[in-house]
């Protein structure tokens, strides 16, 4: 049995070290020996002070998330912290890496906190659909003030060491040997003499809270919750810390925590936490990786420019190639402008902007790509154009360079086969804006070499992306399912629903926006060109495009956008067009409710996901959830389409799909075998996994 907790002494200072790789989660097998060690040290007269530290790459990164939903084993974290607060001798937490969630709550049980200058501290529980359940909502406000605590807890975003010092969350920031300096700090505190006040008894800062300002801040944050329970509960808990006694507020925190941890939203968000990590594992971690030192992007348009920024933001020197000088100049100017906007918003320093710009090299000559290790093609979404580019790349790229295409639909096998090195070809499907969107669909072509695949999966994590490996089919996982979700949109309009009714059903469901507003934002002409290329039609959207209504960029699409605003205004002209097209088809309008809209759009989405698993285009159902949450705004509180299918009831989904299949005869309603099996077994195992 490894020693998850060990105690050493440095003079009369005891150093307690937690060692539970990989992230020192506060699992039961840590809590128990820690509780015992602290109790013993409290009562040991030879010990004058206690330092708590962690081995490995980080301080405690929280409670053990894998334990949630299982019977709780005593002692709980709260009991360990309560014991800590009974210790009269100075207790000092020595924090390196991250102190998150229960890890930060543990150190709030100490009298003092000292940190390594690179450390980050936070309470990210809200990202798991929870709130801090170990006293963080009651102790943190006592140290940093209620407003600061509210911001930290509702956002869940960790803060850096210097900010933590300014906020009085920590007492000192060190470089070098942290433990030695923590022991010295403890001795200095000892020399200064008692009393050592536990955080629970520090009420001054809380007493100075401007309640009106606090409530305004909380109301603003609540507006952004979009149906998620945790942010609201977080704000309520911090409010309790102001208005209730310590113990009352602690009890209220517990109650809120137990409600959330048992709820579907937290289950969904915990599912996504592990799903993202599973997806990022990609092919065998023992596979060798190719060295990527220099990256090139072909095409300096919206996608190419965003992809180039994503790599520069990750610290890679980037060659940006555009055959034409003017197009290259425009592309580089847009990148420059985007960074300037980030500086003006305060999300980037001037120095960092310059540092990133210095990583760019513009070129109009393919010969300049001969020293690049990864080349990403981001040109016009047409096969002939892409094949021409890959022909040139095949001629100039060095042996072993990885050649990637950013196609969002086209056949990566065909692109690979057009070169003499198909094993070096892979799809890297970024989402717009590529420097912002986290998702990266990595398309494994039939001949893609395992080491090339493993290299780009690791690279993706390195530039802050969430990678998901998918197989080759039209539209891969995301866009293929998007087509299934959208297939009924036109039919619903012709049968009587309006664009705003359908969009409202989606926003009520938890999406940031509905399909018609999203279409107008992305530009209706993109789908139009894609349909034309494939000989497909969508009578209403095609007609709008023929009228030059491409969406926001032309001031009108399914909605009107007045004076350049982004606010969609329902347009009677569009509704008249829909009615006219329906009349032409002899379709009489009827009232269509939100349930029917969800059934005819999201049930086919899930069904298409099941088919994708059957075809092994996706390795796991949870990968599909990661794609949809990170690339298409599927509500995180529902865990993604495949997880949601479990919440919604797969039996009901199959039954309703059969109903619509009978009524319409449309194949998207034909329940997939794996979906039927999921309805019987409750597991997506058995096909893709
Ligand atoms: N519990 C269990 N496993 C965890 C874990 C945790 N808290 N954190 C990470 N892991 C696993 C993870 O699944 C992966 O496993 C491996 O560790 C490496 O993680 C009472 C309610 C710390 C910033 O939300 O944000 O405290 O895939 O790949 O990129 O109030 O992990 O290798 O098998 O992410 O270097 C609050 C969660 C919990 C922080 C490191 N804490 N962790 O990132 O490594 S709730 C969090 C992270 C709580 C209390 C409450 C990150 C990291 P595997 P990784 P990384």
Ranges of H-type helices in 262-380: 264-279, 302-313, 325-345, 350-357
Q: Locate tokens 């309006």: which residue?
A: 498
Which residue's C-alpha comes closest to atom 53 of ligand 1? 277
pLDDT at 259 over 70: yes
Condensed to tens digits (0 to 9), the pLDDT of residues 576-590 reads: 999 999 999 999 999
Q: How far apart are CA 150 and CA 157, in angstroms?
A: 11
User: If we measure between CA atoms, which residue out of 412, 406, 411 comes closest to residue 302?
Assistant: 406
423-450 per-residue burial string, b: 16 or more CB within 10 A, e: under 16: bbbbbbbbbeebbebebbbbbbbebbbe
Helices (H) and strands (E) in the chain, counts: 30, 19
Condensed to tens digits (0 to 9), the pLDDT of residues 359-414 reads: 999 999 999 999 999 999 999 999 999 999 999 999 999 999 999 999 998 999 99
pLDDT at 3: 83
List 32, 67, 125, 599, catalytic entry: 125
pLDDT at 285: 66
Condensed to tens digits (0 to 9), the pLDDT of residues 407-428 reads: 998 999 999 999 999 999 999 9
pLDDT at 688: 47
Condensed to tens digits (0 to 9), the pLDDT of residues 109-144 reads: 999 999 999 999 999 999 999 999 999 999 999 999
Q: Please state which of the ranges 345-349, 451-455, 514-518 shows the lowest mean pLDDT.
A: 345-349
Condensed to tens digits (0 to 9), the pLDDT of residues 148-192 reads: 999 999 999 999 999 999 999 999 999 999 999 999 999 999 998
* pLDDT band (50, 70, 90) for residue 526: confident
Q: How far is the CA of 23 from the centre of ligand 1 (A)?
A: 6
Q: Which two tokens stand for residue 391?
A: 């022909």
The CA-based diameter of the chain, rounded to the nearest angstrom, is 92
Using most ligand atoms within 8 A of CB, pick from 21, 23, 75, 256 the residue to mutate for ligand 1. 23
631 CB burial (10 A radius; 0-12, 13-18, 19+): buried
Q: What mean pLDDT is predicted for residues 658-670? A: 96
pTM of the model: 0.95
523: left (phi over 0), alpha (psi -120 to 50) or beta: left
Contacts of 400 (CB under 8 A, 6+ apart): 290, 373, 424
CA 485, 488, 490, 495 torsion-angle sign: negative
User: If we measure between CA atoms, which residue out of 57, 114, 115, 75 comes closest to residue 91?
Assistant: 114
Q: How far is the CA of 546 from the centre of ligand 1 (A)?
A: 51
Condensed to tens digits (0 to 9), the pLDDT of residues 538-579 reads: 999 999 999 999 999 999 999 999 988 889 999 999 999 999
529 CB burial (10 A radius; 0-12, 13-18, 19+): middle
Q: Which three-class secondary structure state does DSSP give residue 367? A: helix
How many C-beta atoms lie closer than 10 Å to residue 660's C-beta? Answer: 19
List 32, 67, 85, 105, catalytic entry: 105
Q: Which two tokens stand for residue 382?
A: 């047409």
Q: How far is the CA of 306 from the centre of ligand 1 (A)?
A: 29
pLDDT at 1: 60
Q: How far apart are CA 364 and CA 355, in angstroms?
A: 23
Which residue's C-alpha comes closest to atom 27 of ligand 1? 277
* pLDDT band (50, 70, 90) for residue 689: very low
């Amino acid at each position: 049995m490894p020693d998850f907790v060990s105690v050493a002494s440095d003079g009369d200072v005891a150093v307690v070290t937690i060692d539970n790789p990989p992230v020192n989660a506060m699992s039961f097998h840590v809590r128990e020996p820690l509780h015992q060690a602290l109790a013993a040290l409290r009562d040991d007269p030879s010990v004058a002070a206690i330092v708590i530290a962690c081995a490995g790459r980080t301080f405690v990164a929280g409670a053990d998330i894998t334990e949630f939903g299982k019977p709780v084993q005593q002692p709980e974290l709260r009991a360990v912290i309560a014991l800590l607060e009974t210790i009269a001798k100075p207790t000092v937490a020595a924090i390196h890496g991250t102190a998150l969630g229960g890890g930060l709550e543990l150190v709030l049980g100490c009298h003092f906190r000292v940190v390594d200058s690179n450390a980050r501290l936070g309470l990210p529980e809200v990202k798991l659909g929870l709130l801090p359940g170990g006293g963080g909502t009651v102790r943190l406000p006592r140290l940093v003030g209620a407003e600061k605590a509210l911001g930290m807890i509702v956002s869940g975003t960790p803060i850096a060491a210097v900010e933590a010092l300014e906020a009085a969350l920590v007492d000192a920031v060190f470089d070098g040997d942290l433990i030695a300096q923590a022991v010295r700090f403890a001795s200095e505190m000892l020399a200064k003499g008692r009393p050592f006040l536990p955080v629970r008894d520090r009420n001054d800062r809380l007493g100075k809270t401007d309640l009106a300002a606090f409530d305004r801040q909380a109301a603003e944050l609540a507006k952004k919750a979009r149906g998620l329970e945790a942010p609201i509960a977080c704000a309520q808990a911090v409010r309790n810390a102001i208005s209730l006694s310590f113990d009352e507020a602690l009890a209220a925190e517990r109650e809120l925590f137990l409600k959330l941890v048992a709820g579907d939203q937290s289950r969904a968000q915990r599912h996504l936490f592990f799903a993202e990590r599973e997806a990022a594992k990609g092919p065998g971690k023992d596979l060798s990786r190719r060295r990527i030192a220099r990256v090139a992007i072909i095409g300096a348009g919206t996608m190419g420019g965003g992809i180039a920024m994503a790599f520069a933001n990750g610290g890679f020197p980037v060659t940006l190639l555009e055959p034409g000088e003017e197009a290259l100049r425009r592309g580089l100017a847009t990148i420059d402008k985007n960074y300037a906007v980030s500086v003006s918003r305060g999300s980037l320093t001037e120095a960092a902007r310059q540092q990133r710009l210095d990583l760019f090299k513009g070129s109009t000559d393919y010969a300049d790509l001969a020293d690049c290790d990864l080349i990403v093609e981001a040109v016009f979404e047409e096969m002939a154009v892409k094949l021409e580019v890959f022909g040139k790349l095949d001629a100039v790229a060095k042996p072993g360079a990885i050649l990637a295409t950013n196609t969002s639909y086209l056949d990566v096998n065909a692109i690979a086969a057009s070169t003499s090195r198909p094993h070096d070809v892979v799809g890297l499907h970024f989402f717009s804006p590529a420097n912002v969107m986290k998702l990266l669909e990595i398309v494994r072509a039939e001949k893609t070499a395992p080491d090339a695949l493993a290299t780009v999966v690791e690279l993706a994590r390195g530039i802050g992306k969430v990678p998901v490996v998918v197989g080759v089919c039209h539209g891969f996982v995301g866009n293929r399912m998007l087509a299934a979700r959208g297939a009924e949109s036109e039919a619903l309009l012709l049968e009587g629903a309006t664009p705003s009714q359908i969009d409202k059903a989606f926003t009520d469901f938890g999406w940031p926006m509905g399909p018609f507003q999203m279409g107008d934002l992305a530009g209706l002409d993109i789908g139009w060109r894609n349909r034309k290329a494939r000989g497909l039609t969508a009578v209403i959207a095609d007609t709008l495009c023929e009228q030059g209504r491409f969406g926001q960029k032309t001031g009108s699409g399914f909605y009107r956008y007045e004076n350049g605003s982004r606010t969609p205004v329902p347009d009677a002209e569009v509704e008249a067009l829909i009615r006219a097209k329906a009349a032409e088809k002899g379709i009489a309008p009827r009232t269509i409710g939100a349930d029917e809209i969800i059934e005819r759009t999201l049930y086919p989405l899930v069904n298409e996901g099941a088919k994708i698993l059957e075809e092994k285009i996706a390795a796991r159902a949870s990968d599909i959830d990661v794609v949809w949450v990170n690339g298409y705004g599927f509500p995180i509180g529902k865990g993604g389409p495949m997880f949601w299918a479990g919440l919604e009831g797969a039996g009901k989904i199959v039954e309703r799909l059969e109903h619509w299949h009978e009524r319409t005869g449309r194949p998207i309603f034909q329940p997939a075998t794996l979906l039927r099996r999921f309805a019987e077994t409750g597991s997506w195992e058995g096909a893709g996994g």
